[in-house]
Structure 1
């Protein structure tokens, strides 16, 4: 691990730690995002509406039109209780506050007028008394609201039993309540609060508090109390977590067990609002008698009385995004308990999500740093898919709520930060390498040098290189026939094609010098068999040039063919970045470079297109080589033995070349000894060479004029430039 990578890992892990701490603190924005995610789950698969013994007697617009504006006199509410009881309602629960005297009561109206005998006033009907009498002995549950003033606490009609420690501090706090009329408190079978989301900043009702607490007493909500009264139960049984005080996990009411949050809230799993759930209060109060379908709907049902009239402002928003009367949510609470289809978020869900952020984030940091951002992105997408699928499946089949969004967002931020750091810092050196080497290195070599420490250090190293020079034959004559633009086009076509052969064989393109190419092998990274790959490149160049000439790629016509000369030498050279700190080139210098350049020039004297030094030839084992003699190269005090590269290993193994090589050896011996038989042997060699081609006829036509190149004294005993 390099220092830059270590810093990158530390940077990434700090980001992961910050995101983990942020999730642990659970700010409102994350809670909102989590709630919205769970809303979407419900929208995809809402709880299906099932026929259940739960109904809403709705004081709707039609009822108000038939019986007058709200509030109705309580003697009419008493009639409603009488009729519902007569129809066999299991419970009548009012999502209505009865906190003040009925101002429409005859006794109240006359008293307010004044000047009437008090004895007469006392004989007038009182609607509150009428309503209280209608409740007496009947399963009526009244609701109370929350208040910030006074110290009123409603009576609790049921007992509470705890398994474990007392959970009095677990539910939401009840500071004060709206008071009920004393006679209502006495005659009601049950009393429950009607608040659906106390203290929540969101208008969406997602969880209903089944209990409130003032620190000394627990208070059930309207739906829970209606369910208790319907079963004739007298006690609630609360279970808490054994290792977490002041928590509630289950509420048992009669025969039903309700899983709740630690604060005693029920996650609402709502169904779309359906007309079958409602019965208009106007139809129950109809003077002509109760219709049969209304009687059938009410009989044996838990009945909630409330209003959907828009003017009464009891409209709530559900997780499905629907606006529904608040009373319907009380009804849906009971429906959910009866159906047994619950949603729950385990106490350990937060810990699991926090752990997933830490683990997945750390994994992404390591992948981004040591593998690649693309692999990290693929793994991140896989983790995202797994999180979404797991969260969805647990919701769909187990009713469990696990948040996939926080780990996904944290993973995305981590990947972005780690990738940005790598791009800006870690990969900066590699981008410099690509800019410096991308145009003259093969992709495999480029990848290797990118991962080499200090690849672009200014300075050089002594390395054994195989160096190649390529030059265009008769370029002066060609350029004289062409315009400058045509010369540039010709060079671009030729040099581009030849340089591709260098890169394809893991060579390094050093530079273009007019119509020449300089390349070398075994730097900036080690290249196995570098001499062999350089020679194979020269042979590939020969074939490339033949194709270009045959296809008239230069536009010269068939009568003008372009030729090249290639010189290759293996020896010690200094290779590295040379120039200034801000602007440098990667190149090689030294005697070996000069020798390779002189060998390329010798191609003209030898009349052959590919010549290599003896040091390069010693590294080859399978190419078709013929000795070209020992030539005196410019600037060198001793002669250098050269070899002509005729072809590859297939040609070397052919019978024709095997015979030519034997005859050539005889010719070299005859030339060295200045034997008279050299003419006869040369004629035989020319005949064999004519069958092979590859430029050998010109080579042998010139060889008789170079007899001194093969003299014994011309061959040095030790070649200073040899490998």
Structure 2
């Protein structure tokens, strides 16, 4: 249960980390990039057209025919008259009429007679950006730049023209700035046309951009002035007049910039009106709900990874990421619902990294523990080889030929009876230290200490060629060093045998040792039992492996305890 709690804790902490990360603009910007790609994909599934909005474009053709901008305002008055004669319901100019002109009276009269003209004004805004979340940006209105008074008092409705961009300069949302009852220009148009006033819960409305060719009906300004249009085109429609041409710089980046390029401001206002009329603003989850879902999802992912091995965790993470993207896209495209993608993707990725790191640390811990355990009976060089092996190669039992060597300190019992315990332990440690060092120097495996004796074997756990020769070389070196050391007064006897044995971790489920069992072990112990001090005796199995490497003397057939037949025993000269 504690381990589950640990993984739940990890999942929650990762969820909280993701929430903190999303407080920074650079992560938010990445999310906005995914939003743009989703909007591009969504736009490919839209095939209808907007029948209630017509855009009259102040385009290059009109500039060529009517002269450079700004035009005489009598042209706008003529346009209003012609549009009303054609039955337009709402007429809106995406033009700031802020400067007084000689022919203002003509336009003011046309606006007053039409009683359906909507004009924009502009807010002088200062943005105070928080270091953290872009939604925390505070906008302050310093001043309002209205159109000339004659137009203002006769207009049917007004709204602010400002379109505020996200950090990197892209228009994705409409900001509802609550300043003295101000409304966005496009919202004022939509409300005037629909005779409805909607209440929005959020101060920012995510826009649903349309990419279908001809979604909005467009006609050149000059064509309308020249009566080159079908009057039914404007019947009961919103007519939005604005710049669209190379002569103007009113172009802005939108999520569809990759496929449609930058859009003129008038088309973005048309998009806002469309979203209002079609009730298609992208819906959003409340921030606390997103945070809660992030933590719950991260906790679930942490629990899943707890159940799996690293390779399955990796495969599962890929499948989950694909599923998250597909589900997110489906919700975005078919339900007009924007759910952040990166928090859930990061929950998968970060939990995977933590899971793999946990597995790595766990393996390293086991490896360190195994190295410590093996260090009791293996040479450092052998340990390096063992650690490269798979677990079954050294922990599971296996049958193989080995050479076993038993060493016994002669007359140690008599020495113990005549000396203090401290002297006994000191002397024994000297012998065992020398034997251990020489065993490791010859890459042998120190199986166990047997009181005043030692069991050693070769060719396990790692494979060793000429393991019988290695064992004999170890025995000779031990005899020579002990006989030459005045601090080691007692002689040793060594018995060696070669043959098949079972090697592995042998014992109970609670305690086991890496050791060898079999007749070859018993025989080596019996041989050592008949070996006099300062001598090395070997069995027939070892003798057959030596070739002519050593000078050997057959001691004749010897009866060993536990054996039904006499055994050939050999003495090694050194």
The TM tier, using the shorter chain, reads: 0.5 to 0.7
Aligned equivalent of 2:120, options 143, 154, 166: 143
For 2:254, the equivalent position in structure 1 comes to: 318
CA, structure 1 residues 596+370, in 2 after alignment: closer, same or farther (shift >3 Å)? farther
Write the distance in 1 (CA, Å) between the matches of 2:81 and 2:399. 110
Q: What pairs up with 1:465-484 in 2 under 5 angstroms?
A: 469=401
The more displaced of 382-391 and 355-364 is 355-364
Write the distance in 2 (CA, Å) between the matches of 1:178 and 1:420. 59
For 2:156, the equivalent position in structure 1 comes to: 189
Secondary structure, aligned partner of 1:408 = helix
Larger relative contact order (Cα-Cα within 8 Å, sequence gap ≥ 6): 2
Write the distance in 1 (CA, Å) between the matches of 2:301 and 2:17. 13
Contact 2:53–2:217 (CA under 8 A) maintained in structure 1: yes
CA, structure 1 residues 518+306, in 2 after alignment: closer, same or farther (shift >3 Å)? farther
Aligned equivalent of 1:593, options 511, 516, 521: 521
TM-score by length of 1: 0.52
Contact 1:438–1:446 (CA under 8 A) maintained in structure 2: no
Q: What pairs up with 1:84-483 in 2 under 5 angstroms?
A: 84-102=83-101, 105=102, 127-138=103-114, 139-148=116-125, 173-197=140-164, 200-209=166-175, 211-214=176-179, 217-231=180-194, 233=195, 236-238=197-199, 248-249=200-201, 262-272=202-212, 274=214, 277-286=217-226, 290-293=227-230, 295-321=231-257, 322-347=261-286, 350-365=287-302, 371-423=308-360, 425-431=361-367, 433=370, 436=383, 445=392, 469=401
Contact 2:8–2:303 (CA under 8 A) maintained in structure 1: no
For 2:49, the equivalent position in structure 1 comes to: 50
Deviation at 1:129, TM superposition (A): 1.2
Write the distance in 2 (CA, Å) between the matches of 1:604 and 1:514. 10
Contact 2:54–2:234 (CA under 8 A) maintained in structure 1: yes
CA, structure 1 residues 518+265, in 2 after alignment: closer, same or farther (shift >3 Å)? farther
Cα RMSD after superposing both structures? 4.3
Deviation at 1:194, TM superposition (A): 1.4
Looking at CA atoms only, which structure, 1 or 2, has the larger radius of gyration?
Answer: 1
* Residues 179-223 of structure 1: CA deviation (Å, up to 9, x unaligned): 22112111101101112226x3332211123x3212xx3222222
Any unmatched runs of 5+ in structure 2?
127-135, 372-381, 404-458, 469-497, 528-537, 544-555, 568-574
The more displaced of 327-336 and 378-387 is 378-387
Contact 1:212–1:219 (CA under 8 A) maintained in structure 2: yes
Deviation at 1:8, TM superposition (A): 9.1
Write the distance in 2 (CA, Å) between the matches of 1:268 and 1:17. 29
Any unmatched runs of 5+ in structure 1?
106-126, 150-168, 239-247, 250-261, 450-464, 472-506, 529-573, 577-586, 606-631, 643-705, 710-723
Q: How many residues align?
A: 435
Deviation at 1:397, TM superposition (A): 1.7
Contact 1:54–1:331 (CA under 8 A) maintained in structure 2: yes
TM-score by length of 2: 0.65
CA, structure 1 residues 34+180, in 2 after alignment: closer, same or farther (shift >3 Å)? same
